[in-house]
Structure 1
């Protein structure tokens, strides 16, 4: 069961990271397009600014799960290094529970915020609901929860092990 969960978690983290990379590429391409239309063609495309912001929001919330998976988001290095192995496992559990609680709040309120924002439209893109921008919070939070549990089941502490 543990191996199955870790396989699913690796797949979902890869999907989230691929999505974050795609959003970065989209934001960069739209930024170049905006510069060309504004300064070369002197016909600014206002809709690109909104989509760049949209892509950056999604990029952040899809990139965070990898940081959680690698144990880079919540780090208690000094306490971890000074503790015996039994205490280290307890620290891992406490940090995982605290991070899951925080992510749970983000998912809960992110979903509520997305639903409330569904009646809004994006400025410059009246056909696109703000729901899709706000949905990044609960979706990213769910990916984060999988990464947190994956890191608790199979910790990746390479930077700590090489530093000792």
Structure 2
């Protein structure tokens, strides 16, 4: 069961990270497009600024799960380094449960914002609902839950292992 979940978690985290990388590509491409249209062609495309902002929001919320999975998001370095293995596992679970609580709040309020914002349209992109901006929070949060549980089952602390 544990191995099956960890395999599912790796798949979900990979999908999430690929999405985050895709959003970075979109943001940087639109940024270059905006520079060319504004300063070279002197015909700015205002819609690209909104899409850049939207893609950066999605990039962050899709990239966070990988940080949680690697144990890089929330860590108590000094306490963790000085603790025996049993206490380290307890710390992993305490930090994991605290992170799950925070992410649950983000999912709850993110979904609430998305539902409230579905009747609004984005300024500059009247055909796109604000739902698509706000729904990044609960979707990213769901990926985070999977990453946090994966880290609780199979702890990784890359930032602690590489630090001297």
**TM-score scaled by length of structure 2:** 0.97
Cα drift, residue 162 of structure 1: 5.0
Task: Give 5+ residue unaligned stretches, structure 2.
Answer: none
1:34 aligned partner: 34
1:45 to 2:42 alignment? no
Residue-by-residue CA offset, 1:101-134 (whole Å, 9 max, x unaligned) = 0000000000000000001101111000000010
Aligned length: 164
Distance in structure 2 (CA, Å) of the matches to 1:143 and 1:162: 25
1:99 to 2:99 alignment? yes
CA, structure 1 residues 46+161, in 2 after alignment: closer, same or farther (shift >3 Å)? closer
2:124 aligned partner: 124
**TM-score scaled by length of structure 1:** 0.97
Distance in structure 2 (CA, Å) of the matches to 1:133 and 1:52: 11
1:154 aligned partner: 154
CA, structure 1 residues 159+54, in 2 after alignment: closer, same or farther (shift >3 Å)? closer
Cα drift, residue 46 of structure 1: 0.6
Distance in structure 2 (CA, Å) of the matches to 1:158 and 1:111: 32
Distance in structure 2 (CA, Å) of the matches to 1:158 and 1:73: 11
2:90 aligned partner: 90
Residue-by-residue CA offset, 1:86-115 (whole Å, 9 max, x unaligned) = 111111110000000000000000000000
Task: Give 5+ residue unaligned stretches, structure 1.
Answer: none
CA, structure 1 residues 54+162, in 2 after alignment: closer, same or farther (shift >3 Å)? closer
